[in-house]
């Protein structure tokens, strides 16, 4: 089983208290609508640019990298 970092849990708690999502944890602009994959890609793209990362990054790559990190760390 993989553990969620305590810092992420705290950030999610703050988000939940501020936005009070009704259906999805990360809701889109319309209530009850999930946050789209396209919007998540845009957020990731902006974060990559702000961080000055030059390599191509995608949500799939990020998911794979995190899973590899957990596997190598003996967490899964």
Give the DSSP letter string of 14-75.
HHHHHH--SS-SSB-SSTTPBPPHHHHHHHHHHHHHHHT--S---HHHHHHHHHHHHHHTT-
pLDDT in tens, 33-50: 898 889 999 999 999 999
pLDDT score at 2: 63
pTM over 0.95: no
Measure CA of the first residue to CA of the last residue in the chain; give whole Å.
6
The pair of structure tokens assigned to 28 is 């889109």
CA proximity to 70, closest of 9, 17, 62, 60: 62
pLDDT score at 73: 83
pLDDT score at 51: 95
């Amino acid at each position: 089983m993989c553990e969620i970092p305590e810092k992420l849990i705290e950030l999610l708690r703050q988000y939940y208290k501020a936005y009070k999502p009704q259906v999805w944890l990360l809701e889109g602009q319309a209530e009850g609508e999930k946050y789209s994959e396209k919007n998540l890609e845009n957020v990731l793209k902006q974060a990559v640019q702000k961080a000055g990362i030059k390599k191509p990054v995608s949500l799939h790559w990020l998911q794979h990298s995190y899973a590899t990190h957990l596997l190598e760390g003996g967490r899964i």
